[in-house]
Amino acid sequence: MKIRALGLLGTVAAVCLVLLTLQIRGHAAGASDVLAVLTTPVQSLLSRVNRTTVGVWSTYREWKNVRAENARLREEAQRLRVEALRVTEITEENQRLRRLLALKRAMPLATLSGEVIAREWGGWVRSLTVNRGRADRVARLTTVIGPDGLIGRVVDVRPGASIVQVLTDPASAVGAHVVRTRTTGIVEGEPRGTLRFKYMARDGSGIQVGDLVVTSGSGGLAPRGIPVGRVVSIDDRGSALFNYAQVAPVVDFARIDEVLLIVGEGAHDVAGLFPDGGS
């Protein structure tokens, strides 16, 4: 065994030394050629494996890089999206406040701006809580408006807040008239969150879908001319004493964040101050 191993080593050493000597003396072309016949296919194979492996490895690394970059870009996109939302939110708030400020400045009556801090939106009660209360000298039944129109009135005043009964509250009622026909009536809230305009039928009122309904100022609770809603359907009951119209509020109560409380007194027509021009 040992002799065989030594013999193998000796043979290998002899072959190598002969190969080296031949190469140095310039006679190795033949040996190189013979070896090339054996090694070239192996080298080709190795090279192919190398290329494939390196290719797969590079692809994997690129994929990992792309994945990492993808994750980074996703994170950045998310951050930018949040930033954009924040900017949009601020812009929208800015616009809302500008409109409210413009309305406050134009209003002939003293007003107090307030922020909505809570909402009660069940079918039984529909109200907003505003951060103005007894300390701000807010009185019960104070009219509350927004840049688009009437929101409701204060029904409860607390030390630091007021509860505003929204127009669509089932217990809410406000004197109103249709701008185009001057048909007077009462706008009442309904449990399903809509408004109903109840008016005298004998007028031959001629109310149409799309007509604007504004506050009439009767009863002195709200100034005249504040937009309330638009007629969406008419319930014509023929010769009955009252006819009804479904009215869609001009204010989106779910999206109200800032309000104006009309704290000043006096009979004024404020129709020209609203975009709908509720005159």
Q: Which residues bind another protein (CB under 8 A)?
A: 4-5, 8-9, 12-13, 15-17, 19-20, 23-24, 28, 31-32, 35-36, 39, 42-43, 46-47, 49-50, 53-54, 57
Give least dist CB 29 to another protein, A.
11
- Which two tokens mark 183? 């048909």
CA angle 204, 208, 213 (to 5 degrees): 95
Pick between residue 24 and residue 267 the one whose CB is nearest to another protein. Answer: 24
Side-chain-side CA neighbours of 212 within 13 Å: the count stands at: 20
Q: Residue 186 is which amino acid?
A: I
SS3 212: strand
Give least dist CB 91 to another protein, A.
52
Give least dist CB 71 to another protein, A.
24
Give least dist CB 20 to another protein, A.
5
DSSP state of 239: T
Pick between residue 2 and residue 192 the one whose CB is nearest to another protein. Answer: 2
Pick between residue 61 and residue 74 the one whose CB is nearest to another protein. Answer: 61
Q: Which residues contact 128 (CB under 8 A, 6 or more apart)?
A: 116, 118, 119, 120, 144, 151, 152, 163, 164, 166, 253, 256, 259
Give least dist CB 70 to another protein, A.
24
Greatest extent of the chain over all pairs of C-alpha atoms, in Å: 132
- Which two tokens mark 19? 């190969």
Pick between residue 57 and residue 121 the one whose CB is nearest to another protein. Answer: 57
- Which two tokens mark 161? 């807040």
Pick between residue 14 and residue 80 the one whose CB is nearest to another protein. Answer: 14
Pick between residue 36 and residue 209 the one whose CB is nearest to another protein. Answer: 36
Give least dist CB 64 to another protein, A.
14
Pick between residue 48 and residue 237 the one whose CB is nearest to another protein. Answer: 48
Give least dist CB 10 to another protein, A.
10
> At CB < 8 A and 24+ separation, what contacts does 253-257 make?
253/126, 253/128, 253/151, 253/166, 253/167, 253/168, 254/119, 254/121, 256/116, 256/128, 256/146, 256/151, 257/93, 257/96, 257/115, 257/116
